[in-house]
Structure 1
Amino acid sequence: MRVVVLGGTGFIGRRIAEELLARGDDVLVVHTEREAFASVAAEVRAFGPEAVVDTDALSWVDVSAVLPHLPDAQLIALSSADVYRAFELFRAGTSGEPTPLFEESALREHRFPHHGEGIGLDDYDKLDVEPAYLERGGTILRLAAVYGEHDPQLREEFVLRRVRAERKQIPIGPANWLWTRCYVGEVAAAVLAALGNPRAPGEIFNIGEPRTHDLGTWVRQILAATGHEAELVEVPSEFVPADLALTRAHAQHLLFDSSKARELLGWRPAPVEFGIERSVSWHLENPPEHWDENFDEDDRALSVGHALH
């Protein structure tokens, strides 16, 4: 299959491109500023793609710069679980949305979730991305929290930095929050399952691990993958270190249901331990150039905590 991958050198895009090449597909990776896409559109059309996978459309500006120039081909766009109302309730520290979240669950009532945060995402909103692709008969994959090799968000770093420092105790909150995740390799597998699949066009699919463990179990799974033994010590919420805030009590769970993708696309993700082991191994071998070696917050928290049994 001839496939164009937009953003094919980024975290998720590079994995999709690698899996396509491993499968034997012809792949054209487009890595250019979105506003400059029109200048390479003729080359993209000349490639004669049967499908286009857009991994980095973050706003309406991104969509409008690219979508009008795409040829008549199967379209797949990556979206996010942050389109759901549950996400804004979580951010607000309240609750009200039932879980698990299905594709028909309520969407956010407010727009631009990162506006004003100073992280360069003032215009970010996947709610502006999805409709345009659906109107072209595209497929939307709403991703849970993605982790894995080359993850720029370093989702496991809150544990791994303590492993590198050989910390023997880790202060956490109740760690009972449910937050569905997905290994980057399984995201790529979902994309491949959608490509050429007659059940994919015009549909929205949640993509996340089939079963979600609470945060405490995830921490233990990461530790197990490192081979490092550390005691988890529950401390009062106000003493939980900032980078361990996910282990505090949260009113709104972000539990995701991806059964539609498994049933209609035939997507078969591997057990979560498979992805955790590979991700942890890579990040231990490729630590951040600069990582926080200060554990004063941990020490203060541990002085008031009690061991979990």
Structure 2
Amino acid sequence: MRILVLGGTWFIGRRIVERLHERGDDVLVVHRGRSEPDGWVPVEHLRTDRRDLHAHAGRVRSFAPDAVVDTLALSAADVDAVLPVLPEVPTVVLSSQDVYQAHTGLRHGRCESPVPLTESSTLRRERYPYRGAGINHVPDDYDKLDVEDRWCSRAATILRLPLVYGPHDWQRREDVVLRRLRAGRRQIPIGAGNLLWTRCHVDDLATGVLAALDTRAADGLTFNLGESRTWPLAAWFTQIIGAAGADAELVRVPDAALPQDLALTAVQQQHLLVSVARAQEVLGWTPGEPSHRVSESVRWHLEHPPAEGAWTDEDAAADDDALAASA
């Protein structure tokens, strides 16, 4: 197949492009050229902002894609900019499970939806959930509900993603634990750690994207992707410690004493546990065993520590204060 990928050089898109190349597809990656990996797979590149894609309509026509993967639409404007340029071919769009009202419940500390969440669960009533928050790479007009609405006019396949982890994760999901282990911390303060938040290894996610590209019965449908079994946050932390081969323990402390980066381990009223039954049935997709995937991811992150975000005296003091409160 000839696949045009919007985005495709960061974490999730990068792995999708690599998997497409590995199976022999011809790939054109449309990106700004800011995060292109060195010595990467030999695919075609169109280096431009997606909102300037109209200036390269001839290149898109000459490539003549059989399908499109949009990995990085964050707003309605992101989709409106490319729809007039792209052919009406099977399209897979990466969305987020933050479209559910349960996500609002988690953010505001109240239960808003029963779980597991299915594709028909109540959608988020508030719009532009991160407006004014100043989160890196998240514009004020971010809203995956807008993205889904725009792409639905093309009968695109929508994949709602959970918390994704694995090699090249720029958010370094496991680092909340690993940074403490690298600093030699033997005790890690934690709250109840009861949160059930579905996760997914990036390679399983890429497998789901390829399955959606190959399954015409998926056109126009929405799917949750994620692991088939989810451990609570505290158990996930324990898996990370075990995968790192570390001698460290989790110490329960009062919620009010938790360091900021461990706030999600406090008692939670709302979970983000999703059902992936539709993806398994329609796409024939099966994610890997969570404990094995955590071990694979931790090994990679230990071999590739971050250049920034070193453990500081302030970090140590915050943990020590929390641990003192455990008494």
TM class, shorter-length: over 0.9
The answer as to 2:317 corresponding to 1:299 is no
Task: Report the CA distance between 1:237 and its aligned residue.
Answer: 0.7
Task: Report the CA distance between 1:38 and its aligned residue.
Answer: 1.1
Matched with 2:55 is 39
Tell me how far apart the structure 2 counterparts of residues 225 and 5 of structure 1 sit (CA, whole Å): 34
Matched with 1:9 is 9
Matched with 1:240 is 258
The answer as to 2:109 corresponding to 1:88 is no
The answer as to 2:22 corresponding to 1:22 is yes
The answer as to 2:150 corresponding to 1:129 is no
CA contact (8 A) 1:99 1:254 kept: yes
Calculate the aligned-residue CA RMSD, in Å: 1.1
In the TM superposition, what whole-angstrom CA distance separates every residue of 1:124-166 from its partner, at most 9, and x where no partner exists? 0000000121111110000011111111111111001011012
* The 10-residue stretch of structure 1 (166-175 or 291-300) with the greater mean CA deviation from structure 2: 291-300
The percentage of counterpart residues that share the same residue type is: 54
Tell me how far apart the structure 2 counterparts of residues 198 and 71 of structure 1 sit (CA, whole Å): 17
Tell me how far apart the structure 2 counterparts of residues 190 and 70 of structure 1 sit (CA, whole Å): 23
Tell me how far apart the structure 2 counterparts of residues 149 and 61 of structure 1 sit (CA, whole Å): 30
CA contact (8 A) 2:190 2:253 kept: yes
Matched with 1:250 is 268
Unpaired runs of at least 5, structure 1: none
CA contact (8 A) 1:4 1:30 kept: yes
Task: Report the CA distance between 1:72 and its aligned residue.
Answer: 2.3
Matched with 2:77 is 61
Task: Specify the code of the residue in structure 1 equivalent to 2:91.
Answer: L
Q: Scaled by the length of structure 2, what TM-score is found?
A: 0.91
CA contact (8 A) 2:6 2:50 kept: no
Task: Specify the code of the residue in structure 1 equivalent to 2:60.
Answer: V
Partner-residue secondary structure (3-state), 2:13: helix
Partner-residue secondary structure (3-state), 1:281: helix
Query: After the TM superposition, which parts of structure 1 deviate over 6 Å for at least 4 consecutive aligned residues?
Result: none
CA contact (8 A) 2:223 2:278 kept: yes
- The correspondence of residues 211-226 of structure 1 with structure 2, limited to 5 A, is 211-226=229-244
Tell me how far apart the structure 2 counterparts of residues 51 and 229 of structure 1 sit (CA, whole Å): 48
Partner-residue secondary structure (3-state), 1:86: helix
Task: Report the CA distance between 1:291 and its aligned residue.
Answer: 1.6
Matched with 2:281 is 263
CA contact (8 A) 1:185 1:275 kept: no
Tell me how far apart the structure 2 counterparts of residues 286 and 45 of structure 1 sit (CA, whole Å): 40
Tell me how far apart the structure 2 counterparts of residues 247 and 292 of structure 1 sit (CA, whole Å): 22
The answer as to 2:119 corresponding to 1:98 is no
Unpaired runs of at least 5, structure 2: 32-47
